[in-house]
Amino acid sequence: MRVIRAPTLARAHELVVKMILEKGYVLDTEEGEATVEFEETAITVENPFAEPMGSDRSRFGTRFLRSYADALLHGSEAIFEYDYHGRLYDWGQGLGMEGTEVHADQVAYIKQKLAASPESRRAVAVTWNPPVDESLRDCPCLQLVQCVVRDGALAMKVVFRSNDMLSAAGANMYALAHLQKEVADSLGLPCGPYTHISLVPHIYYIRDAADIPPFCKEGSEIRPIPEVCRACGRCPRSQGD
């Protein structure tokens, strides 16, 4: 597992994109989409609210990040096959237990567990629902959220089964850090480290070719593998110069 430690979420985003573009390997997904993939990676930011939280190299600016975080924390009227707010605050998706629908507010559970037992390692929320997700085309990438109280602060660790590190990870980290703050505030604690684990980090290097140049800077800061450069085609390096 590769480990990235960064002073801000924005810098963490830039470093993981650089690593994948330079060291990754190409692989088509089961839906036939071209990706450059890398081994499992853990990103840790000691102070997730240090600025900048969002990289100015990403096409998703602060307004989008705030909207995405708000949807995760408070829900949205948009309709998707799943959403993280529903999976974290109202897990169940129509399942029943002894004739009663399951509605599990896992964030409330985390808050209650840590309020009662600050040393607990059981303050965990999951998103995966086998009867539902095994048949979904678009199933949750985020799998697990764990909060722990250590050294007088609330730390959060999250696990993604798969993570689009170019287009999605910046917003994922920003929103989940705000979830961390919600839990921390409820306990009267500061936010501690945020750790973001991706088991299969990847970049859609053809679909999102237009988003690569701001990170790459025409090869002056990142020297991607040849397949990425050819797909991008926006600088002399892509022509083999």
Q: What is the CA angle 1-221-49, rounded to 5?
A: 60
Q: What angle do CA 79, 85, 87 make, to 5 degrees?
A: 95
Catalytically active residues, by annotation? 141
